[in-house]
Every structure is written in structure tokens, then in C-alpha cells.
Chains A and B, each alone.
Chain A
Amino acid sequence: MKALFRLMALGRAQAGWLLFGLAMSLISTLIAVSLSGAAGAVFAGGILVAAPMALRALGPLRVVSRYAERMVTHNALFRALADLRVWFFRRIAARMAGGLGMARAGDLLARLVGDVEAQDAVYMRVMLPLVGALALLPILAVVLGNLDIWLALAVCVLFVVSAFVLPMMAMRGALAGGTTLAQAMAGVRVATLDAVTGLREVRAFAAEGRMLAATQARESTLLTAQSQALRRVSWAGAAAFLSAQAAILATLLLGRDHGATAIALVFLVMAAFEAVALLPRAGAQAGVAAAAAERVVAMTDSPIPCPDQPKPAPLPASYALRIEAVGFRWQEDRPPVFDGLSLDIPQGAHVALLGPSGIGKSTLAALCLRLESPQIGRITLGGVDIASLAAADLRHQIGWLSQATHLFDDTIRANLLIARPEASDAELWNALERAQIADAVRALPDGIETYLGEGGLRFSGGQGRRLALARILLSPAKILILDEPCAGLDADTERKFLTTLNQTLGDRSSILIAHHLAGVEKLDRIYRLSAGRAVAAAG
């Protein structure tokens, strides 16, 4: 429930539209009830002479107001949902600077699409009719109360049950089921994406049947959850229907003594109950929305790893990087990766860091970029502890080519521009040249506008690596951390790239992380990582 209110509060930005929609909805409801009342009033001709006139005017008004209401409320709703999605993305990005980790991309997608969408019930089906109900209740009380206090009491109690009590009960009942439903939908998405993303592995290991069965199993769970949710919704609807019927019957029986006037009342009661007839169903849907809201908020409200300090220090001009007696372990129960690691990378220095896989070379990059914080010691940039810098500033200054660098399903140009959106064509081509891939790009029919495909799929592993390399070379960062830049490259290309690397770096510093050296690198220092420390090695 808390999550639901939290997401509702985000609607502030679209408050104008949402309130406009609310007003339109209220007007439309009142017109509908008046129309029905007027239709009934024609039987009480003696009392309401104006009824026929009212009927002629209200008929067209009702049609127009209903159409306008729907357009306005839907527009308001979709605006709010779009905002919510962007908000979700920003919050996720702040928390997943280091990648998705154990989160599933398909599950995040399910939250962005389905769980956000479920929030429409809150505004459309709950808030709008609820406001209508709040306006109608006093009207019913006054109109009926003027005639018969017992009649007014009976109808108002039934109205409160229908508009407030049943929706509340339905909502509570749907909360737990809502969680199951949202998880089940995400389950289908994740299983399908696993099967489709892994089509190569699936074919190679003849896993078609298994993948299909996994999706079918998740789908069965989904259908069961949907069927249970539907049952709750339909019983809530049936209860609302029965209370409306009871109110009509009560009006007829208790209003007997008032003759023809009671007919107008019957029509009024019918219309009033019709206006709130969907509320109990909506209550059940709101329960689902609340559960979905929990899932959205669970991802967006987790603590930010290594957050900025309240007043980050300004970025120092110098970009000398020092790692001072750092100790770090990923988890309490795992052995330390670093134990008193000290490294000095002066401004403009070219340093290599060697060691076998799993020794912590990537962990070091994560520490320098403040994706993780060392438990002991500190890292300084230009003499300032990076913990006191703004993470965005720090990452502007340090570029990282990781082993998991992602190529987006976009053009080569768009992929490069991520590193520097304002880069000119000449700069793009220059970066491609330096990464030894310009000739291959030039040979493509669409050149730099060629689409890479999912994860760079339309290019070979070595070509993709070089495109990622071109991207990092293009970035304005002063320090480049290159984690195995030549993995997957043939020896010739590797040698060419490393030979020209220093010239292309200019005044930038570089940290080359590798298993071994090719022998052509021009380096200022070489360190070997071993037992959690860096040891200077001979060039």
C-alpha cells in the first residue's frame, strides 16, 4: 500500500491533466444521474414540469461529456504512466551502474511494462469513480431524506457498501494474489527471453523441448493466477450488482407511499449505483496494482551503492591516480581480493597490470570507478579521495573498457556517440582508425550507419571488440582502464593496435589490464598482481 501511494505521489507532475480528467469525470457522472432522474421524473409530471425539457438538454450533453471525459482521463493517465517509466529508468540506472548483477533484464522489462501499466486501475477505475461516489452520496441522502428518512438510510448504507466497503475488501483480498500475478507474468517474460536470447545454445544442445516446456510451465502459473484474480474481480462485481438491486427494491418498497415521485427516485438510484457499479471490481484491480507497485518500488528504492556525499568535492585538475593500501573483499565469507594493494599512476603514465584470470583485475577497475568501495585504505584522484567526488564526475574522468562492454542494437555511429555525443565525423573515423577497424567499416555498404544487431551480433567477436575499443578511445576521459583490449584479436591486429596506442593517447593516462604482454607496448610501469598486492615487475 505504501508503494502505491509513493507512485501516486509521482503523478504530481501531471496534476493539471489528472485534475482536469477528474473534473470531466465528475461532470459526466452528474449528467448521467440527472438524465436518468429526469427520465423517471416524467412519470411524476405534476411535480417536475421541467423534466421533458431537462431530458432534451441532458441527452446530448451526456454523450458529449462522456466522450470528452474519456479522452481527457486517458490522456492524463498515459502521460502519468510515461513519466513513471522514465522515473523508473533513472532510478534503476543510479542503482545498477555496475550492471544488472543478479537482476534479470526480462524481469525489469516486466516491471517497466506490466507493473507500471497495472497502475492505470488506480486513477481510471478507483480514483475517478470514487470522487463521483463522494459527490453522489450527499445528493442521494438529501433527495431521499426529504421524502423518507428510512429510505434514505437504507439506500445510503447500501451505497456505502457498494462504493467503499466492497472495494476495500476486494482490494485487501487481491493484494497477495496480485504479487503472484505480477511474478507469474514476469516469469513468462523471463523464460521466453531465455529461450530466444539463447537460441544458439538451445539449438546446439537440442534444448528446444526443454525451453518450450519451461515457458509452458510459467504460462500455466500465469493462467492460474489470472484465473484466480478474475474470480475475485467477478465476485466483487456480482456483490456490487446485488447491492444495487437491493437498493432498487428498497426504494420501491419503502417509497410506496409517495406514489409517482418514487418512480423518479428509482431511476435516480439506478443511475447512482450504476456510476459506482465497477468500483468493487476496481478494488480488486487496485490490489493487483498495489502489488505491482511494490515490485516497481522494490527496484527503485534499494540503497544506491557507494552514493555521493551530500556536497561532493569539485573535480581536481590533476588526474594522478593513487591506490593507497586498499583492502577489499566482495562478501564477508569470501577471501579478500586485495590486501594492502598500493599503486601509483601519475598523470599521463602508461601502466600495465598483469595477472592470471580471477586475480582481481576487474575488481580494481570497479573500485577506481566507485562501483564498490574499499573496506580498508583509499583511492585518490589528483590527491582527492574519490569517495568525496561526485560519481558522475569521477566516471567522466575515468573511462573503462570492460570485458562485458555492451554493444547496443543501433548503428555504429550511435554506439560511438555514446562516448562523446558531440564528436565530429572526423573524430569518429579517427577513433575507428586507431582501433584498427576503420577499413572494415568503410567496406560496409552502409558504412558507419550499419546496424550492429543485438549485442553486436552481426559482427564477429574481434570486430565487435575493436568497435568497443574505438568507443572508449573516443571518450573524453583522462584515464583509460583497458581490460584485455585485445581479447579475440589476431596477433597482427593486436600488435598494430598496441604499437600505436601510446601515440593516440596523448596526455591521457592508461592502465592496461592483461594476462600477458605482447612485447610491443610502450609502458612506464608494469605491475603484477599477486596475493592481493601489486608487485613491480621488470618490463
Chain B
Amino acid sequence: MGEMTISSPSTGKPGKAWLAAEARLGRRAAGGLVGIGLLGTLCAVGQAYCLAMLLAVLIGTDGPDEPVLWPALAFAALAVARAVIGVTSESLAFRLGATARRRLRTDALGRLLAAGPALLRSAHSAELAAIVVDRVESLDGFFSRWLPASMLALATPILLAAFIACFDPLAALLLIVSAALVPVAMAVFGIGAGRAASRQFTAMSRLQTRFLDRMRGIATIVMHGRVEDEAQSLLRAATELRQRTMRVIRVAFLSSAAIDVAAAGTLVFLALRIFHHMADNSLADPVSSLFVLLLVPEFFQPLRNFSAAYQDQFQAHDAAKALEALPPMPVVAEPDKPIRTVAAQGITLVFDRVGLTWDAARGPVLEDVSFGVAPGETLIVAGPSGAGKSSLIEILLGFVRPTEGRVTLNGADISDLVPSALSKLTAWIGQRPVLFAGSLRENIRFARPEATDAEVDDAARFARVEAFAASLPQGLDTDIGEGGFGLSGGQAQRVAIARAMLKNAPILLLDEPTAHLDSTTESEVLDSLRRLTLGRTTILVTHSAAAHEWNQGIGGRRIDLKDGRLIGNRGAA
């Protein structure tokens, strides 16, 4: 599995500033939720007081005739209020998380899309998708739980301690001291939790990537009888995930145990104090004693919520690092005007001493490559596989920038073009066209969504898609599976040709367009391509002898690449 090598643009501790900024935003948004939470606490105080009054009646210090009606009614009314407040605050919390997720997911996917296909060289698509789907999803807890809980964990105990202090200052002091110990315990137990959370996500992402990759190649695994091996390695990955997850939640359990100690200790202490007062008949005010006792769980509840959301915070730290490390959104420049206006008369394409290195260890894929293609001309690029032919096309498509030299279209450097402007100029038929699950028609229309049905039909006819679609039950509306399931390699290629036709761009880039075709279909497709190349600047990468002959027929030139260098530059034969 390739490691993610997306560089981080920031300085300092990665993700920290990002998360701090998000937290500021999130806290501002959580104001209403905190207000409602405090209102709920006030209701709980009222309820505790009613309950204490009712209980005091039972002890009988005030006589059995004490009225119970109004405390009982108030208790019931406050219960209903608390229920409504509970539902409201949960829905508010959801909205906080949802708003943040929506914003962050759009940002993350937008940045991936802007960075483009070069990303796939260093990361598996499942890893990238996990950032957009799972990383962002894991941030929900940060906004909907952790931020409000961290504010309420401070405000609510202070509010309650103030009430308690009115009746029993010693109890209030005791509660505040034990509450102050909670964050200390959490910090102690939380040492190393950040790294544990990060490892947990890595384990999860690895499990996903492995599974997705294995699913795409499931036929290969079954055919080689390797299902059991793969099941075992999936079990190993799942076991690793379990161990990592346990390490993360243990922190949450330990800090929650620390609160249990504080809560149970306080409760036991207060109850025993009441017991001793009762034993020597010195219990002056049973209502206030009971009231204080009943508020103890309420006092610790926000701290519990705080500790339960503790792991959300670790996950958020980790997610922040990943999201901040995504390639930044490029600044959108003005579309290059000269290119646009000249496009009508055709485009001159020039490679000027171009070099490209994907991976320093593997050496350059292209070195000192120079050539030019005039408007309407077709250039064949030949050479053994791995010579760098496809890399040349990828530069023209803007998937990657040359590491040396420059490529110009009508004199303008393509590095200065925004991706959308460059993509308007080029149509491309690749070696491995990605087809999406959906109908043939939808797959062709992908090239130009606003195309009419008639235009799609034309493109399909032109690329000989109709020839095989006719035998399918629903013709062009037949659904195909992900990755072109249901189509042969040659058929998939013809869909890609139809896309290029529909797109109708001034530069045509053909990367082995006839590799999977039989000779009859190949000559038909070459026929179609000949019409497509008319008036367009075309680069054709091919091994096919037929294509070479075809190009000579139309007077095209040919260059030969070997190990990334130009070894021949012949004119028309």
C-alpha cells in the first residue's frame, strides 16, 4: 500500500492552527445550544428542589399534612420541560455537526478534485475517499459533542455549585475540588491518546483500502484459489483495528472512571454525613440536605459528557492534520484570453526541452523532449512500453506539470492555464478509460452534459458504439457496471472514443485508441478518427502498424521515444 505523501503547506504543529480556527467557529455557533443546556440545568435544579420537599415530607419532620400537591405538579411540569429541552438540544447539536460536515466535505473533495489525477500516484482512491467520507464524518463529534460539552463542563458545574453553596457551602467546595480533579485525570490518562487515535484511523483506512482493492480484483483472487488467504489477512487487519480502537476508548473509560470515583466519593460522603446528623438528631434542614444530595448526579453529568466526548477531540486532531495536508485550493486566475481567441484557427503545440520525473529514485520518465505540432497536423508517438509516451499525454492533459522545460499552446505556457481552460481545449482517449456505473448514454454524455440526445446518438454512431449497442436489450440505455462491466475492452474503448467525439475540442490526444480492437473494428475506428482529426491538432500514441500506415496515408509525422528520450523525428514517408 502506498503511503500518503501529500505535503503539508503549514508550519508548526500540523493541524493545530486549523483546528483552533474551526473550534472558534464552532464555539460561536454552539452558543444557543449552551444556553438551552443551562436552561435544562435550571429545570433540573427546580426538580431537585421539588423532589427534596416531597422526600422531606416522608421523613416526617414537618408532619404528614404538609401539602404535596404543588411540588408534585411543579415536578411534573419541569419534567416535561426538560424532555422538550433534551430533544431540542439534540437537534441543535445535530445541526452544528451537519453544517460543519457539509462545509468540510465540500472543501476536502473540492481540493482533491482541484489537485487532480497526480494524487492517484501516491495514494489509493480508497484512502482519498476515506478522507472525504470517514475523516469528515469523524469530525461530527467535535462540533456536535465536544465543543458544546467543553463549554457546558465549565458553565454548568459553576452554576450548580452556586445553588448548592446557598444551602451547604462545604458540599459546594467539596464538589468543586473533585470536579477540578477530573480534567487533571483526563489529561493524565489522555497521554498518548492522540497517537492511539491516529493509529486507529490508519488501521481503519488500511482495512478499507485493502478490502476495496480486493473487491475490485475479487475474480483474480477466486480464480487463483486465494480466498482463504485474503480472508485471513482481512481478519488480521480487523484484529489490528480492534486493538487500536480498544486503546483509544480505554482513555475514555479511564477518564469516565475518574468521574465515577469523584461522583461516588462525594455521594457517599454526603450521604454518610446526613446519616450521622440523623443518628444524633442534628439534621437541621432535611430539604436542603436532600436537595444537595439530589444535585450531585446533575453536577457530574456535564463532566461525564465532557469525558465521553474526549475521544472526539483526539479524532478531530488527527482529522485536522489530514484535512490541512490536502493540497490547497488553487487561486482561480483569469482564463487565458489569447488561447481562446486563437482556438478557432487551430492550435500550435510545442514541447520545449521538457523533462518529467515522478519519483527521483526511478529517474526521469521524460528527458529533454522537444517537438512541435502544427494546427490540423497529426503526430504519431511510438516507442516501447514504459518509454514515457503516456506521461507526455498526461502533461498535455494537465495531470502533471513538467519538472523541466515548458509546453506551449499557441505560445502560452500550459502551466499558466487554469485546469478548466486547458480541459476545454483537449479531448482524450486513454488506455484505460474509466467508465462509471450507469447507462452507455450517460457514460458518453459525461463528456458534455449539456449535449442533446441526438448529439449523443451521433457520437455513438461515429465511434461504432451503436454497432454493439444494437444487440443489447435497451440499446444505448443499457446499464453497465462499474469499471465498464459487461463491455469488452474494445467496446469500452469505443465508448471513450464517443466521449472524445462528443467533446469536440481543438486538441485530440489519443493514447493507444485501438489497443483492444480486432482488425476490422480497428480500421473502422481509424476511419472515424480520421474524420475526427480534421482541423485538429492531434497526438496519437500507438504500437499499431495499421495506425502507422493510416497516419502516413494522411501525411502525418512520427517521433520515437525510448527511455524518455527522443530517438527519431521523421517526416512524412
Contacts and interface: CB of A to CB of B under 8 A. Distances in A.
Contacts of A263: 55, 58-59
Contacts of B87: 231, 234-235, 237-238
Contacts of A515: 517-519
B345 interface: no
A489 B518 CA distance: 14
B473 interface: yes
Nearest to A457: B120
Contact of B362 (A66, A89, A445): A445
A52 B275 CA distance: 8
B384 interface: yes
Interface string A7-42: 000000000000000000000000000010011001
Contacts, number: 431
B406 to A, nearest CB: 20
Contact of A59 (B268, B428, B483, B489): B268
A383 B472 CA distance: 36
A230 interface: yes
Contacts of A234: 86-87, 90-91
Interface in A55-89: 55-56, 59-60, 62-63, 66-67, 70-71, 74-75, 78-79, 81-83, 85-86, 89
B345 to A, nearest CB: 22
A6 interface: no
B68 A260 contact: no
Nearest to B219: A99
Interface stretch (B162-170, B178-186, B231-239, B530-538): B231-239
A66 B261 CA distance: 11
A526 B389 CA distance: 35
A262 to B, nearest CB: 5
Contacts of B204: 113
A61 B216 CA distance: 51
Interface residues of A, number: 154
Given A52-B272, A193-B126, A203-B117, A406 B217 contact: yes
Interface stretch (B22-30, B315-323, B432-440): B432-440
B218 interface: yes
Given A63-B260, A402-B219, A357 B518 contact: yes
Given A206-B419, A392-B225, A409-B213, A403 B489 contact: yes
B199 interface: no
Contact of B423 (A78, A204, A403): A204
B550 interface: no
Contacts of B234: 85-86, 89
Contacts of B431: 461, 488
A112 B126 CA distance: 14
B241 interface: yes
A302 interface: no
B516 A484 contact: yes
Contact of B112 (A99, A196, A259): A196
Interface string B323-346: 000000000000000000000000
Interface string B69-100: 00010011001101110110011001000100
A82 B271 contact: no
B150 to A, nearest CB: 21
A385 interface: no
A33 B271 CA distance: 15
A179 interface: no
B105 A43 contact: no
Interface stretch (A103-111, A315-323, A501-509): A103-111
Contacts of A207: 446
B275 A51 contact: yes
Main secondary structure of the interface of B (DSSP, over half): helix
B246 A78 contact: yes
A105 B482 contact: yes
A100 interface: yes
Contacts of B105: 215-216, 219
A488 to B, nearest CB: 5
A408 B22 CA distance: 38
A190 to B, nearest CB: 8
A531 to B, nearest CB: 14
A41 B339 CA distance: 88
Contacts of A262: 58
Contacts of A392: 225
A75 B246 contact: yes
Interface stretch (A306-314, A343-351, A393-401): A393-401
Interface stretch (A131-139, A149-157, A328-336): A328-336
How many B residues are at the interface, by size bracket? 35 or more
Interface in B278-326: 278-279, 293
Contact of A109 (B119, B212, B471, B488): B212
Residue of B90, B133, B207, B239 contacting most chain A CB atoms (<10 Å): B133
Tell which of B114, B231, B427, B448 has the most Cβ of chain A within 10 Å.
Answer: B231
B461 interface: no
Contacts of B430: 200-201, 204
Contacts of A59: 264-265, 267-268
A58 to B, nearest CB: 8
A4 B133 CA distance: 26
Interface string A420-447: 0100000000000000000010001110
A493 interface: yes
A301 B82 CA distance: 46
Nearest to B204: A113
A154 to B, nearest CB: 14
Given A201-B434, A212-B106, A408-B213, A444 B220 contact: no
A75 B386 CA distance: 49
Interface string B404-443: 0000000000000001100110111011111011000000
A249 B499 CA distance: 72
B481 interface: yes
Contacts of B488: 357-358, 362, 403
B1 to A, nearest CB: 6
B479 A102 contact: yes
B437 A484 contact: no
Ranked 8 nearest A-B pairs via Cβ = A462-B385, A406-B217, A515-B518, A82-B238, A245-B79, A78-B242, A206-B423, A357-B490
16 contacts: A62-B260, A74-B246, A86-B234, A102-B485, A196-B112, A200-B397, A202-B113, A206-B419, A212-B109, A223-B102, A226-B94, A263-B59, A356-B518, A418-B221, A460-B385, A490-B383
